[in-house]
Structure 1
Amino acid sequence: MPAAYDPHTLIDARYRREGAGSPVVSLNERAILSLLWDRPDLTRSALGPRLDLTQQSIHRILAQLQERGLIRLGPLEPPSYKGKPSPRLLLNDRYTCTVGIVVNTDSAGVAVMDFAGGFEAVPLSIQDLSMEEALCRIEAAIAPLLARKGFREQDVFGIGFSIAGFLVEGTRYNPPEPLFEWSKQHLGPTLAERFGRPVWTENSANMSTLCERMLGVGREVANFAYLSFNYGFGGGVVLNGNLVRGGFGNAGEFSGMFTEHEWRDRPTMASLLASLASHGVKVNSIADLARDFDPAWPGVEAWLERAAPHHSRVINVLSSVIDPEVVVLGGQIPAALGEALIARTDIYTKPRYGILRRMPRLELSRIKGETGAIGAASLPLKEVFV
């Protein structure tokens, strides 16, 4: 195992504050950049109450960030109280960009994200392709996406890579059977050498969760859980605004709460495909299922009858253990199917002295498309800048 692999050591010197070996941003700079990511409407005068820094220090840090090109000043905003107008502070979308890649069992996705979170993403079919063939197809999709965002290959800060499956150690994952070839090596150093950029790796459910944290419900609430309905069933947890990875990097492996006997009735898209096939409905892939889903198909109701109790267990366990404000249903689940699961959720809590414990709100992900790739593209930004 290449235990020494650390993508931070591969970051180009031009991004560092003082050249090779120095950090990219200081802790105070990172605190400001994080605020600007979550609150793109912030003005310079509004930073003070949110930071344990003097106004003089804030102005100095902002000047340094602006000089390096990480932020720019927007229009003057009138104050909500007496005082002078203050400029809005904006992340500079042209400072750099990142690439995000997700590998699912029968599809892949590629995204390019600018420094302010704007992105372009495309889906790719990799069904029945070898790892090398899939990587060639992924690689070929990156240049056109960069061009559409107005970037060149040399503008890429780093790459986020995500794959279905749990973390074994380092950057080696244990994906479902269709991706067995990908399980044989540590993906971080392998892909960093191939692409010539630092590569951060994660499982795809965590990256869909990070996508929701960076661009979706995570901008409104600090504590939520994400359910990722794909070939398998997993998800992720965000507490106090941070993705929780756990002691072995596998927080969010929600399938672990089911016994072997219950395994086939988990709320997975693979089990839905099997249910449809047994009722005479042929759907070739999960990507086709997500695109063409019809709630009236024979086999859908049977799947809901089996899967809904297991889904309810997950919701109640999450509520009891981590107390999230929201549980988001995402991954590759069709919207109509997600709504049907929400409607069938059985909440176990009972009133005590006439008072019910507060339960999380259930909602479908608001982000459509390649959420794993979009989340992966935001991973280098989250790991280094925000």
Structure 2
Amino acid sequence: MTMLNYDPHRLIDDRFRREGPGTPVVSRNERTILSMLWDRRELTRSALGAQLDLTQQSVHRIISQLEERGLIRLGPLEPPSYKGKPSPRLLLNGGFGCTIGIAVNTDSAGICVMDFAGTFRTASLSIDKMPVEAALSAIEAAIPPLLEAMHARWDDVFAIGFAIAGFLVEGTRYNPPEPLVEWSTLQLGPYLADYFQRPIWTENGANMSTLCERMLGVGREVSNFAYLSFNYGFGGGIVLNGNLVRGGFGNAGEFSGVFHEGEWENRPTLAALLRMVARHGVQVSTIADLSRRFDPDWSGVSEWLDLVAPHHTRIINMLAAVIDPEVVVLGGQIPTWLAEQLIARTTFYSKPRHGISRRMPRLEPSQIKGETSAIGAASLPLKESFF
């Protein structure tokens, strides 16, 4: 399999398709209904029909087809809010299939198994300084216990989402930070599809964390938000009208690009924080270790905040001016306390005009903890194919 003919949609097993070989997995109307069920979770059949430009007969037919294929199931009857018959609650059927999300960071890997209803389990492991093949072998060995915990088998795996730190070069090849330089030579889509024998969707890690927030966090409440991903480096993602923005070259959200070379060391990266606390004698060796053991009283933390806060403020104001998000989420591997401190130090540049101020985004730490990039990676094939 080569980059030129690689398309994960073509590798989807026929049993997940709507009408057999070569057909889509869902129709446009089916996707609309499934998306509404994912975001709102507790819709009844009658409430769904009232929100769609479809006849009642069409809604009933589509729901029956989705139920017959096993994508949804009918829940308990809900009493109507007006005169009429009770209507069944519509629920996504987790047993339809599952996905795997893999996120390769500079020194660790996150793994997630997610079912069709969005229930998931995660695990993490160290891959610090491992060659590609050794890292993949360790990742593969960690998947079966997660499948077992989800009462799933390999045969239930619809597809795999794969995240890696770094920017997109072409196709499914990424340019990651120095600790992952060996990965930079690979077209990850076809390479991993051959390795795992499953369709592979790829994205950079920051976009996958953004998608995690879209599918399971703030994105269920608002349609327009930005996500700041604090990791070894610093990047993020943008969601507009409910969709992840990738840009003309696939690298929307590379927020580090607003800093010139002389400012590079002052970006709000956790690698810079790691170096700073290490100079003060704090014994932490990896970003994962820093996030897990973080202590606000460590020497060097206040120094890092003083250094990076003005640059963080610049990013926030740039986002407010350019994409006008409702919310900016601070996520990635940043500890919540640090995110809250950066928020407290943020200043908006906009000034009132004629006594009226322009609305500014709400700033908040991500409420999703753990392997957000892997969770987003697991949700990507679902989003691309069903929702």
Question: CA offset at residue 361 of structure 1?
Answer: 0.4
- 1:39-50 to 2 correspondences below 5 Å: 39-50=40-51
Aligned to 2:32: 31
Aligned to 1:245: 246
- 1:321-340 to 2 correspondences below 5 Å: 321-340=322-341
- 1:341-352 to 2 correspondences below 5 Å: 341-352=342-353
RMSD between aligned residues: 0.8
SS at match of 1:262: helix
User: Is residue 98 of structure 1 aligned with residue 99 of structure 2?
Assistant: yes
Aligned to 1:360: 361
Q: Measure the CA separation in 1 of the matches of 2:316 and 2:84.
A: 48
Question: CA offset at residue 380 of structure 1?
Answer: 0.6
Aligned to 1:313: 314
User: Is residue 294 of structure 1 aligned with residue 295 of structure 2?
Assistant: yes
Question: CA offset at residue 327 of structure 1?
Answer: 0.3
Q: Measure the CA separation in 2 of the matches of 1:4 and 1:69.
A: 31
Question: CA offset at residue 260 of structure 1?
Answer: 0.5
Question: CA offset at residue 19 of structure 1?
Answer: 0.8
Q: Measure the CA separation in 1 of the matches of 2:355 and 2:75.
A: 51
Give a deviation string over 1:54-105, Cα, whole Å, max 9, x none. 1110100000000000000001111122221111100001010000000000
Question: CA offset at residue 276 of structure 1?
Answer: 1.0
Question: CA offset at residue 3 of structure 1?
Answer: 1.7
Residue type matched to 1:38 in 2?
D
User: Is residue 133 of structure 1 aligned with residue 134 of structure 2?
Assistant: yes
Deviates more, 1:290-299 or 1:370-379: 290-299
Question: CA offset at residue 282 of structure 1?
Answer: 2.5
- 1:160-175 to 2 correspondences below 5 Å: 160-175=161-176
SS at match of 1:82: coil
Question: CA offset at residue 269 of structure 1?
Answer: 0.3
Q: Measure the CA separation in 2 of the matches of 1:260 and 1:80.
A: 61
SS at match of 1:306: helix
Q: Measure the CA separation in 2 of the matches of 1:180 and 1:224.
A: 31
Q: Measure the CA separation in 2 of the matches of 1:86 and 1:316.
A: 47
TM superposition outliers: structure 1 runs of 4+ over 6 Å = none
- Is there any run of 5+ residues in structure 2 with no aligned partner, and where? none
SS at match of 2:100: strand
Residue type matched to 1:93 in 2?
G
SS at match of 2:331: strand
Q: Measure the CA separation in 1 of the matches of 2:294 and 2:320.
A: 30
Q: Measure the CA separation in 1 of the matches of 2:109 and 2:6.
A: 25
Aligned to 1:265: 266
Aligned to 1:274: 275
- 1:137-156 to 2 correspondences below 5 Å: 137-156=138-157
Question: CA offset at residue 313 of structure 1?
Answer: 0.4
Q: Measure the CA separation in 1 of the matches of 2:295 and 2:69.
A: 51
Residue type matched to 1:324 in 2?
P
SS at match of 1:222: coil
Give a deviation string over 1:156-183, Cα, whole Å, max 9, x none. 0000000000000000000000000000
Q: Measure the CA separation in 1 of the matches of 2:275 and 2:3.
A: 39
Q: Measure the CA separation in 2 of the matches of 1:149 and 1:297.
A: 39
Residue type matched to 1:74 in 2?
G
Q: Measure the CA separation in 2 of the matches of 1:306 and 1:279.
A: 16
Q: Measure the CA separation in 1 of the matches of 2:299 and 2:17.
A: 57
Q: Measure the CA separation in 2 of the matches of 1:90 and 1:74.
A: 6
- How does the TM-score come out when normalised to structure 2? 0.99
Q: Measure the CA separation in 2 of the matches of 1:322 and 1:23.
A: 33
Question: CA offset at residue 15 of structure 1?
Answer: 1.0
User: Is residue 373 of structure 1 aligned with residue 385 of structure 2?
Assistant: no
Residue type matched to 1:79 in 2?
P
Question: CA offset at residue 49 of structure 1?
Answer: 2.7
- Is there any run of 5+ residues in structure 1 with no aligned partner, and where? none
Aligned to 2:255: 254
Q: Measure the CA separation in 2 of the matches of 1:333 and 1:247.
A: 29
Give a deviation string over 1:299-343, Cα, whole Å, max 9, x none. 111111110000000000000000000000000001111111011
SS at match of 1:212: helix
Aligned to 1:285: 286
Question: CA offset at residue 279 of structure 1?
Answer: 2.1
Question: CA offset at residue 283 of structure 1?
Answer: 1.1
Question: CA offset at residue 50 of structure 1?
Answer: 1.9
Question: CA offset at residue 280 of structure 1?
Answer: 2.3
Give a deviation string over 1:270-304, Cα, whole Å, max 9, x none. 00011112222231111111011111111111111
Aligned to 2:113: 112
Q: Measure the CA separation in 1 of the matches of 2:36 and 2:259.
A: 39
SS at match of 1:261: helix
Give a deviation string over 1:231-261, Cα, whole Å, max 9, x none. 0000000000000000100000000000100
Residue correspondences, number: 386
Deviates more, 1:280-289 or 1:221-230: 280-289
Aligned to 2:59: 58
Residue type matched to 2:292 in 1?
R
Residue type matched to 2:18 in 1?
R
User: Is residue 20 of structure 1 aligned with residue 21 of structure 2?
Assistant: yes
Residue type matched to 1:167 in 2?
L
Question: CA offset at residue 16 of structure 1?
Answer: 1.0
Aligned to 1:221: 222
Question: CA offset at residue 347 of structure 1?
Answer: 0.9
Give a deviation string over 1:136-157, Cα, whole Å, max 9, x none. 1100011110000000111100
Q: Measure the CA separation in 1 of the matches of 2:20 and 2:189.
A: 24
